[in-house]
Amino acid sequence: MFERFGIFGKYKGIQCWDTIDKLVQHLQAKHKTIYLDSASCHDFPQERYGIEIVERSQMAKQIDVALVVGGDGTFLDVARSIVDQHIPIMGINLGRLGFLTDISPQDMLSSLDEIIEGIYESEERNLIRVTIYKDDEKLFDQLAFNDVVIHKTDSPRMIEFETFVDQRFLNSQRSDGMIISTPTGSTAYALSAGGPILDPSLDVLSLVSINPHTMSTRPYVVSGSSIIELRPHRDHCHGSANIICDGQISYTISAGYHTHVTRHKHFLKMLHPKGHDHFELLRAKLRWGDKL
């Protein structure tokens, strides 16, 4: 039974206050405890309801479930911050596409009531951990729920790098970069770059090159337990590249840096209304059901 709810909103979220207001009133009417995320809800008029605003670092220790009000970008940010506390998460969509925040504001109260009563679908999704080293010194350590991207900087020149899987050499390529994607992220940047759509129940990672120099460079799928390593080519000393997690966290690398990508040790539990069908979501978002 869920009794303590944490609400997370969009960082520039004045437009989501009405939705959060409805959630708060509904949960208080059911005598539930509510906490607001300080990072994204500090401007919400919480004094009207006597709700405590909690620092993000402490939020997961005090709640039973996370409610994310926003778009998929908001969801990604919250997912990374709560996954290690094993807090289930539910997304209410105020964005445009909503593969992750799949509950509409119109349906959120009825869906929330069902979840409170224990009527829901749940699934676990894998995340990836990204670490960057130079001369055995760890310089960067972050999580990604959708993907990690190695991408050229503003230079028009392609980048050159080598890819290793479980310490075995896979290939060397010249391209604009590469996307390493979870199944969750397979419908994001990786899809637009020509990668495969992966069923979210799979524990795999996909490697999708961005505008490769040769047509023989194709998407490749590896086990989720694989260790992937990216090394800028040793002759690639004239420039740099960016490592970007979920399009939100970045780090600049150059020759001599090694980037390791592995599955994170914890999975994220997502909650959906009863009868949730991922295929139905794909048809709706990708318009597969449209008649030509």
Quote the mean pLDDT of the chain: 92
Question: Both tokens of residue 155?
Answer: 């230079």
User: Which pLDDT value is given to residue 95?
Assistant: 67
Residues labelled catalytic:
72
Percent residues over pLDDT 70 in the chain: 95
Average pLDDT over residues 114-120: 94
Residues 6+ apart with CB under 8 A from 235: 160, 255
Return the domain boundaries, the chain.
4-125+267-286, 128-263
The SS3 assignment for 2 reads coil
Same fold, 4-125+267-286 and 128-263: no
Average pLDDT over residues 181-207: 96
More confident call, 56 vs 12: 56
Asked if the model's pLDDT at residue 292 lies above 70, the reply is no
User: Which pLDDT value is given to residue 156?
Assistant: 80
- Whole-angstrom distance, CA of residue 165 vs CA of residue 209: 15
- Whole-angstrom distance, CA of residue 277 vs CA of residue 283: 10
Q: Model confidence over 18-32: pLDDT tens digits?
A: 899 999 999 999 999
Domain 128-263 CATH superfamily = Probable inorganic polyphosphate/atp-NAD kinase; domain 2 (2.60.200.30)
Residue 160 and residue 177 in contact, taking contact as beta carbons nearer than 8 Å:
no
Class of domain 4-125+267-286: alpha beta
Average pLDDT over residues 6-28: 86
Distance of CA 268 to CAs 15, 85, 204, 208, 237, Å?
A: 27, 9, 15, 23, 39
- Whole-angstrom distance, CA of residue 54 vs CA of residue 48: 16
- Whole-angstrom distance, CA of residue 148 vs CA of residue 125: 16
Asked if the model's pLDDT at residue 290 lies above 90, the reply is no
User: Which pLDDT value is given to residue 206?
Assistant: 98
Which of 79-93, 151-165, 278-292 is least confident? 278-292
Residues 6+ apart with CB under 8 A from 150: 159, 161, 177, 178, 230, 241, 242, 243, 253, 259
Asked if the model's pLDDT at residue 13 lies above 60, the reply is no
Q: Model confidence over 237-284: pLDDT tens digits?
A: 457 899 999 999 999 999 899 999 999 999 999 999 999 999 988 998
- Whole-angstrom distance, CA of residue 195 vs CA of residue 207: 8
Which of 43-57, 62-76, 143-157 is least confident? 43-57
- Whole-angstrom distance, CA of residue 104 vs CA of residue 22: 13
Question: Both tokens of residue 133?
Answer: 């080293």
The SS3 assignment for 145 reads coil
Asked if the model's pLDDT at residue 218 lies above 80, the reply is yes
More confident call, 180 vs 16: 180
